[in-house]
Amino acid sequence: MKSDMGLLWMKIAIVTETFLPAVDGVVTRIAATVKWLHEQGHELLIIAPDQGLDEFNGIPVKGIPSHTLFLYKSRKVAMPNPKVGRFLNEFQPDIVHVVNPALLGMAGIYYGKKWPLVASWHTNIPHYADYYKVPYLKPALWWIFKTMHNRADLNLCTSKSVKYELTGRGFKNVHVWERGVDLDTFGSHYQNEATRRYLCDGEMDKTLLLYVGRLAVEKEIEKIRHVLHYSDQFRLAIVGDGPHREKLESYFEGTPTVFTGFMHGEELAKAYASSDIFVFPSQTETLGLVILEAMASGLPVIVANSGPTAEQVTDGENGLHYDPGHKDNLIHTIMKLEDTALRERIGKQARETAKAFSWSAPSQQLLGFFNDLYHVSS
């Protein structure tokens, strides 16, 4: 119901390149956001690659035919499709939000332009070109993404450093969409002896390093092996899946490493809380929500001293920065946390930091963006 005083509720269409049952930071954010918006009484429609889901939390999900790409067989993607326009016309939204426009998002931008249009940037695909040995594609990729995003009335990104980069590359009207974490799902009270025994492969006295996330070449997970060779006091648990898993399993063969595949919900919460140190080597993140999940679980985190990841972590307070430009710096940074007193102090501060980031605040912020844009467009 709309009123002359403003919007009491909105019809919001979300067009997203990825959604459940896929698992990544983008899906986590979108699922938490649409759930909050729905609880506030707004009417939503989700348009996503078809993976057999037709409803989420009472919200209809319209699937677009999806397929695997030969370069990325672990995830289905949907190509631009006129069904997007038909679904939007049937729904008649007040706002269209295209999440991470790339392939399906092209149709979201094209057909969504009839209404107030928001686009959000979550994955720095042009940066991946270096890792996949096609750096010559970067100029074309930046041009494509800039062109798509600049058709939107409002662009969102997830960190100040990404906003600075996008603005410098000619993206218009860019704002930071703040981060969040489910503080009920993650916490040190989920510590579990059986989970730790599994992750440590029975070596309970070792210091357990944890990585959680997509297993892809740009995540630079290989760097952690150097630590395992440097000291026999560590074990590593790698939680997640992705196109790089087979090569990683081969690379870490013979080291004290456990690959668990995906974990969800309480199982994932137990994995965080039952570990000692969270290690996230990636330099390509636009945010890295797993960092905040680890912090909410009371873990000290080690991240690259670059861009958005460093924005989340204050070196020496709630985590440590390592210098990706120096080969052995990750080893030396992790070794600092052999000091259990330091580890406990940083872990407690990490939890305190995370307490300020529930999902309600960024969801309210997003709704504020929607309302402002709707009124300007009316």
CA atoms of 92 and 82, how far apart (whole Å)? 15
Within a 10 A sphere around the Cβ of 362, how many other Cβ atoms? 21
Say yes or no: 146 and 25 in one domain.
yes
Instruction: Select the more confidently predicted residue: 302 or 242.
Output: 302
Per DSSP bridges, beta strands 11-16 and 174-176 are: unpaired
Say yes or no: 123 and 60 in one domain.
yes
Query: Mean pLDDT over residues 364-376, rounded?
Result: 93
pLDDT above 90 for 100: yes
pLDDT tens by residue, 125-138:
888 787 778 888 99
Say yes or no: 138 and 246 in one domain.
no
Q: What's the token pair of residue 136?
A: 């010559």
Instruction: Select the more confidently predicted residue: 285 or 281.
Output: 281
CATH of the domain at 11: 3.40.50.2000
Angle at 165 between CA 210 and CA 374, to 5 degrees: 100
Say yes or no: 12 and 155 in one domain.
yes
Say yes or no: 278 and 140 in one domain.
no
pLDDT above 90 for 55: yes
pLDDT tens by residue, 16-40:
999 998 888 899 999 999 999 999 9
Domain residues for the domain of 150 are 2-180+358-377
pLDDT score recorded for residue 283 = 83
What is the spatial order of strands in the sheet that 207-212 belongs to?
257-261, 234-239, 207-212, 277-280, 301-304, 319-322
Instruction: Select the more confidently predicted residue: 306 or 318.
Output: 318
Q: What's the token pair of residue 300?
A: 């000290």
Say yes or no: 265 and 198 in one domain.
yes
Say yes or no: 198 and 149 in one domain.
no
CA atoms of 85 and 367, how far apart (whole Å)? 23
pLDDT above 80 for 72: no
Say yes or no: 273 and 371 in one domain.
no
Q: What's the token pair of residue 174?
A: 């860019």
Query: Residue 286: pLDDT band by 50, 70, 90 thresholds?
Result: low
Say yes or no: 87 and 158 in one domain.
yes
CA atoms of 26 and 67, how far apart (whole Å)? 19
Say yes or no: 211 and 142 in one domain.
no
- In total, how many domains does the chain have? 2
- DSSP per residue over 269-305, as a string? HHHHHT-SEEEE--S--S--HHHHHHHHTT--EEEES
pLDDT score recorded for residue 377 = 77
pTM: 0.87
pLDDT score recorded for residue 205 = 94
The proportion of the chain whose per-residue pLDDT surpasses 70, expressed as a percent, equals 95
Say yes or no: 48 and 172 in one domain.
yes
pLDDT score recorded for residue 131 = 75
pLDDT score recorded for residue 3 = 41
Say yes or no: 334 and 199 in one domain.
yes
